[in-house]
Structures are given as structure tokens and as C-alpha cells.
Amino acid sequence: MYVRKFSCTHDCVAPKVRQVEFTTTFGSLLAGFGAGLSLIVAIGAQNAFVLRQGLRREHLTPIVAVCIASDAVLIVAGVAGVGALIQAAPFALAVVRWAGAAFLLAYAVIAARRALKPGALAASGPAARTTLTAAVTTAVALTWLNPHVYLDTVVLLGSLASGHGTDGRWPFAWGAVAGSTLWFSLLGFGAKFLAPVFARPGAWRILDGGIAVLMTALAVLLVVP
């Protein structure tokens, strides 16, 4: 009896290859998304500032945009291999650490003064508003003068991305950027749902007092081994 042999051609193998590639890419994307969120969703100076501006509904869009864009640049830099350069330049990190500590202490003083002056705690009104330049500058400083952002976002995420190989590291990066975008959008634009709570000056007093304590503690932790 004649038995015809079946030969699997390229057309037969290609769908399986594409399925494996999609699975790998999607897995790297999800891994980056989870890793990005795990590093960003934490109580810190940047998040506290975004939350406060979200409650005030003041210059929120440019502030959220600055935070997202900054994270995207840092994540891409880490995946591209800049983390190795940062690890080789401890002096630069030391400069950033002391500059960041000084800025955090200055911001802590400002927050403490707001907490001690009920008249300045209104969420709206000419006397309570800050300029766009001041708000954006603060967001930039709280992001880029934090040495941990270089160690966590650039070095750590870059190392995690390298574990996904040449084909998976960039999907990992885009997943991390997506996680950052989601978090800052929810934190900033979702803060309005807490507005009824912060309609009272006492709530703003507690928030600004907490921010002052947080900023001071972070400044100390930056410079104390």
C-alpha cells in the first residue's frame, strides 16, 4: 500500500512561530506593566504632590504630563543601558542626593506653613493658586532630584528588562510606561472624588501637615546611610 508522506512547509510552521512571538511579547508587556506599577505606586514626594494638585484641580494636566514623560524617558534610558553608566558614577548620584534633600526640606517648610495658616488652605481662589511655572518646576524637581528614581527606574527596571532578551526588553519598557501612565492619571484626575472630604480647611491642614512630615523624613533618609 502506498503511503504519502506529509511534509510540513514554512506555511505550516509560521503560524506557530507567530503565536510564540505574540505570547512572548505579551508576557514581557505584562511583566513591565507590573514591575512599573510596583515601583511607582508608593508613598513618596512626587505622588504626594500630584495628589495635592489633583485635589486642588490646579495645573493638573501639565503636572501629570511631566511625571509621565519623565518616567518614560527614565524607563527607556534604563532599557537602553544607561543604568550601567549611572552605577559607574557614584559622585553624580551623591550630588543629586544632597540637592534633592535640600529641595525636599524647602518644600516641607512650605507645606508646614500652609498647614499652620488656615486662610491659605482653600482649594481655589486667587490667594491659594500657584503659577503654572512654579507647579511644573516643582514636579520636575521632585522627579529628577530624587536619586532613587535613577536606581529604581533606570537601573532596576533596566536590569529586569534585560532578562527578557533582545526581543522582549522593549515590550517590557512599553508595559512599564503604560503602568506609569495609568497610575499618574488615576492619582491626579481621580483625586477629584475626594474633593468633598477636602472641602474643609481642617482636612487640608492634615494633608499639608502629613506632606511636611513626609518630605522631611524623605530628606533625612536621602542623606543618612
Domain that residue 201 falls in: 44-223
Q: Which amino acid is at 135?
A: A
Q: Average the pLDDT over 160-180 and give the result.
A: 88
Q: Average the pLDDT over 197-201 and give the result.
A: 75
Give the Cβ contact number of residue 9 at 10 Å: 7
Does residue 132 form part of some domain?
A: yes
CA atoms within 13 A on the CB side of 78: 29
Using CB atoms within 10 Å of the CB of residue 114, give its burial: 0 to 12 exposed, 13 to 18 middle, 19+ buried.
buried
Give the percent of the chain with pLDDT over 90.
27
* Residues 6 or more apart whose Cβ sits within 8 Å of residue 40: 47, 71, 179, 180, 183, 184
Q: Average the pLDDT over 151-163 and give the result.
A: 81
Q: Residue 95's pLDDT is what? A: 77
Q: Residue 137's pLDDT is what? A: 95
**In terms of Cα–Cα distance, which of 167, 217, 189, 223 is closest to 45?**
217
Does residue 49 form part of some domain?
A: yes
Does residue 17 form part of some domain?
A: no
Q: Residue 214's pLDDT is what? A: 84
Is 4's pLDDT higher than 60?
Answer: no
Read off the DSSP letter of residue 6.
P
Does residue 108 form part of some domain?
A: yes
**In terms of Cα–Cα distance, which of 139, 127, 128, 126 is closest to 198?**
128
Does residue 189 form part of some domain?
A: yes
- Residue 173 · residue 32 · CB < 8 Å: yes
Per-residue model confidence as pLDDT tens digits over 62-94: 999 999 999 999 999 888 877 666 666 677 777
Lowest mean pLDDT among 38-47, 123-132, 166-175: 123-132
Q: Average the pLDDT over 1-29 and give the result.
A: 58
Q: How many domains does the chain have?
A: 1
Cα(86)–Cα(131) distance, integer angstroms:
34
Q: What's this model's pTM, rounded to 2 decimal places?
A: 0.72
Query: In terms of pLDDT, which residue wins out, 136 or 22?
Result: 136
Q: Average the pLDDT over 46-55 and give the result.
A: 91
Query: In terms of pLDDT, which residue wins out, 63 or 120?
Result: 63
Q: Residue 132's pLDDT is what? A: 94
Cα(46)–Cα(100) distance, integer angstroms:
12
Cα(51)–Cα(207) distance, integer angstroms:
10
Cα(179)–Cα(173) distance, integer angstroms:
10
The whole-angstrom distance between residue 151's C-alpha and the CA centroid of its chain comes to 13
Does residue 181 form part of some domain?
A: yes
DSSP of 120-168: G--SSSGGG---HHHHHHHHHHHHHT-HHHIIIIIIIHHHHHHTTHHHH
Does residue 25 form part of some domain?
A: no
